[in-house]
């Protein structure tokens, strides 16, 4: 926590500073997993994501913000979202650190829980005793139809869908997925995004099962199993966009809703909400962060559905369902197909 502090020297943050040097030489600590929250409370150069030395891994706040904003439906987020999905080469490639340097997270020990991220548009921190001044004001959240708990079926359906899409994105991204305990069960802090000082039901974990918490926990478990069984989702190198010498398939191919490869100018269309990616010719990911369902033409291949976060199914689809040349992607939904 606040790891930028340990790299500060007389001239500011220094990856060759005394602490980093001593740690790298220690016979025990040099071989452990080191994870930095790459900021502190300093006024200057406090945010150092991408600048820690090997073998440090870093909580990637740029990943968090981009994925939250994309699924909220913010305009112009497709290029940033794609960079984060692919491991944030812009942050880690310059120091020859691979995708595994990026710890991809959407929520952490402070801030909204994932359930609150789709239920509140602002924080509710009065109970913390600081007149609501504490906690981040910029959460990139949405409520999808009214603040807080809702009994409206349409609101609950959309919130579950966006949670599925958020979690599916994280577990299909290059890098190290980081899941905050309780998010897999839909834990809420009732909109409080700085509940460290609350030793009560607001911050405690409720282990009793509801149908929603059990279903979502099973969904997350299936996604984790899916990640373990697909080498395409466990990359240690960045994508290069080059074709395989044997199969001819690119390591990643981006395409539009028409099924055609994305052109440079299409990446920067601010209103673009639908696009897809084929990874190593074997997995196909479809994304729609718009307000309406869209039909997408698929690249050539014998595709079968793996999961569809727009489906009302409780779990990712386990039985292959072959699809034709087009596929309907629901609003705020992500789909995985495989050959």
Contact 128, 60 (CB under 8 A): no
Q: Is 257 designated active site?
A: no
Q: How far is Cα 251 from Cα 294, in angstroms, rounded to an integer?
A: 26
Take residue 195 and report the two structure tokens written for it.
């509940």
Q: Is 37 designated active site?
A: yes
Take residue 92 and report the two structure tokens written for it.
């880690």
Q: What is the dihedral of CA 99, 102, 103, 109, to 10 degrees?
A: -170
Take residue 114 and report the two structure tokens written for it.
């994932």
How many Å is the Cα radius of gyration of the chain? 21
Site of tokens 């911050």: 203
Residue 190 CB partners (closer than 8 Å, separation 6+)? 116, 124, 148, 202
Within a 10 A sphere around the Cβ of 233, how many other Cβ atoms? Answer: 18
Q: How far is Cα 25 from Cα 28, in angstroms, rounded to an integer?
A: 9
Within a 10 A sphere around the Cβ of 339, how many other Cβ atoms? Answer: 11
Residue 15 CB partners (closer than 8 Å, separation 6+)? 7, 51, 52, 53
Which residue out of 14, 26, 37, 265 is catalytically annotated? Answer: 37
Phi and psi angles of residue 333, each rounded to the nearest 5 degrees, phi first: -120, 155
Provide the CA 126 distance to its chain's centre, in angstroms. 29
Active site (catalytic) residues: 1, 37
């Amino acid at each position: 926590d606040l790891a930028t502090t340990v790299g500060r020297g007389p001239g500011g943050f220094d990856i060759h500073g005394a602490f980093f040097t001593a740690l790298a030489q220690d016979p025990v600590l040099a071989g452990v997993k080191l994870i930095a929250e790459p900021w502190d409370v300093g006024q200057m150069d406090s945010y150092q994501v991408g600048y820690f030395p090997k073998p440090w891994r870093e909580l990637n706040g740029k990943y968090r913000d981009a994925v939250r904003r994309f699924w909220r439906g913010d305009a112009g987020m497709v290029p940033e979202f794609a960079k984060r999905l692919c491991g944030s080469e812009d942050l880690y490639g310059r120091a020859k650190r691979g995708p595994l340097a990026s710890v991809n997270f959407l929520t952490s020990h402070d801030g909204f829980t994932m359930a609150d991220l789709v239920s509140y548009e602002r924080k509710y921190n009065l109970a913390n005793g600081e007149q609501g001044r504490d906690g981040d004001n910029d959460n990139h959240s949405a409520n999808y139809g009214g603040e807080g708990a809702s009994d409206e079926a349409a609101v609950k359906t959309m919130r579950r869908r966006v949670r599925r899409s958020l979690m599916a994105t994280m577990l299909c991204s290059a890098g190290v997925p980081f899941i905050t305990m309780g998010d897999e069960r839909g834990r809420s802090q009732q909109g409080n995004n700085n509940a460290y000082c609350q030793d009560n039901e607001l911050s405690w974990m409720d282990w009793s099962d509801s149908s929603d918490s059990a279903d979502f926990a099973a969904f997350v478990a299936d996604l984790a199993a899916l990640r373990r069984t697909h080498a395409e989702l466990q990359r240690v190198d960045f994508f290069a966009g080059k074709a395989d010498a044997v199969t001819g398939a690119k390591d990643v191919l981006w395409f539009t809703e028409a099924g055609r490869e994305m052109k440079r100018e299409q990446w920067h269309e601010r209103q673009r909400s639908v696009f897809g990616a084929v990874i190593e010719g074997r997995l196909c990911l479809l994304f729609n962060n718009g307000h309406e369902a869209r039909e997408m033409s698929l690249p050539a291949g014998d595709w079968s559905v793996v999961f569809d976060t727009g489906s009302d199914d409780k779990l990712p689809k386990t039985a292959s369902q072959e699809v034709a040349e087009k596929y309907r992607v629901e609003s705020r939904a992500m789909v995985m197909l495989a050959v």
